[in-house]
Amino acid sequence: MAHDYYGQAVEHSGGGLAEALSAALPERFDRRRAKSVDLPWGFARALLEAAVAAATLADEPYDVDSPSVQRAIDELIATVQRAHAVGHRVSPMG
């Protein structure tokens, strides 16, 4: 992560997280009705960065089973669901 990269380099449009987000919130990612661009594969990069930072700060392994990584995943889910519930978009870029 010592260089610039784009979300699709971490996960592209057919990736597991993008597909799960699209399936869970189809109206949110409907580009025909969207007022702004909100692409589901952009969230993988944000999640990866948050999980790496959390695990580093907690001195835990970079593993999905680490408590800090689980919290990063839970926070992403809560943020996306909360923003959807109140009708706001949340950018994966922060």
pLDDT tens for the chain, 94 residues long, are: 445 555 556 676 678 888 888 888 887 777 777 666 677 877 888 888 899 999 999 999 999 999 999 999 999 888 877 766 666 555 555 5
User: How far is the C-alpha of 27 from the C-alpha of 33, rounded, in Å?
Assistant: 8
* Predicted model pTM: 0.66
C-alpha angle 49-68-52 in degrees, rounded to nearest 5:
25
